[in-house]
Structure 1
Amino acid sequence: MPGAGYPNDSDAVAEERERWVRETSTRDRVYETAIQLYEPATAETVADRARCSEGAAREHLEWFSDRGIVEPIDGRPKRYQRNDAYFEWIRANELRRECTPSELETRLEDLVEDERAYLDRYGVDSPQQVDALEAGDYDSIETVWEDVGEWKTIRREIRILERARKDRDAFGGAGIVG
């Protein structure tokens, strides 16, 4: 509660942002901002969020684009968004290195079982087809949306585990593959 010895929330946020700017390189700030771009954003928007010049943001975004971390979207002005496939590839490689084939198989089986439960519960083929209003009464809408979010996460994890398993089979479990 402000005024009772507690800092004002906006002051605390501003102080934390200033510390971030002081202690983090421009490249790292642009990276941290870019990996949160679920919707296309201009270099100007990234620069504003990363607290740097537009030119610096554009230079780093192009560097990240060349490496597949972000995807450029042509147009005027050019926009960028994170490349989810890149981050799935990174996660698949981590799992492939960290897990035995048996562990990957067990995780995959568990997730497939979890997905089957959602398929049975909602009677549709994908989380995108769930209608929260049809699936329950007003009090359960939040629960339905939580289920939909979890179901989407399960599907993403299944994709990643399948990739890790296939890459392990194709490359014998050694090194990073692309």
Structure 2
Amino acid sequence: MPGAGYPENTNAVDEERQQWDRNTSTRDRVYETAIQLYEPATAETVADRAHCSEGAAREHLEWFAARGIVEPLEGRPKRYQRNHAYFEWARANELRREHTDDELERKLETLVDAERAYREQYGVDHPRQVDALEEGDYDSMETVWQDIGDWKTVRRELRVIDRARKDRDAFDGAGLVG
């Protein structure tokens, strides 16, 4: 049903999926699936999405859990979810390695300005305090929801850059950076 959110050529999607299956190891497919687990999922669900056996998915998920990449949730059946703190840490390390202090400071200033602008625009201190229905008519709701998402991204990037700067200070103070 083209035009209703479905691809016009489902064969192209199927071919791309088959190529992913052929050219990507099971471990990599489970990883790519696991990092998208914003909601808890069972090994069976991950296996289905990653095109592998449930046993292989469970083995790799446990390996990722031991390294902090996913968080296992006890219960029957056991479920797993992406560990947001791990990815925040990884992003901070990437920024610390790839950017100078001055570059991080400029990014931080830009983000602080954006945070301030959202606070002024909506008259609240946090995006979760914004009520899209109270901000106007239904036509403007989509814009408000987009702003809320963007504001959350700004806040997340502020945390990550702050962490990168603090981590650099910790490394410098420990004599680990040349």
Aligned residue number for residue 46 of structure 1: 46
Report the alpha carbon displacement of residue 10 of structure 1 after superposing the two structures with TM.
Answer: 2.1
Following superposition of structure 1 onto structure 2, how do residues 151-166 of structure 1 map, counting pairs within 5 Å? Answer: 151-166=151-166
Give 4+ residue runs of structure 1 displaced > 3 Å after superposition. Answer: none
Aligned residue number for residue 106 of structure 2: 106
Aligned residue number for residue 115 of structure 2: 115
SS at match of 1:172: helix
For these two proteins, the number of residue pairs brought into alignment is 171
Q: Encode CA deviations 1:45-90: one digit per residue, 9 max, x unaligned.
A: 0000000000000000000000000000000000001111111111
Aligned residue number for residue 137 of structure 1: 137
Q: State which drifts further: 164-173 or 34-43.
A: 164-173
Residue identity (%): 75
Aligned residue number for residue 62 of structure 2: 62
Please state if 1:150 is matched with 2:166: no
Q: Encode CA deviations 1:15-44: one digit per residue, 9 max, x unaligned.
A: 111111111110000001000100000000
AA partner of residue 144 (structure 1)? V
Report the alpha carbon displacement of residue 163 of structure 1 after superposing the two structures with TM.
Answer: 0.1
Aligned residue number for residue 29 of structure 2: 29
AA partner of residue 43 (structure 1)? A
Separation of aligned partners in 2, 1:164 and 1:43? 33
TM-score (ref. length: structure 2): 0.91
TM-score (ref. length: structure 1): 0.91
Cα RMSD, aligned residues only: 1.8
Separation of aligned partners in 2, 1:100 and 1:22? 40
SS at match of 1:72: strand
Report the alpha carbon displacement of residue 94 of structure 1 after superposing the two structures with TM.
Answer: 0.9
Gaps of 5+ in 1: none
Q: Encode CA deviations 1:99-119: one digit per residue, 9 max, x unaligned.
A: 111211121111011101000
Gaps of 5+ in 2: none
Report the alpha carbon displacement of residue 8 of structure 1 after superposing the two structures with TM.
Answer: 5.1
Q: State which drifts further: 120-129 or 100-109.
A: 100-109
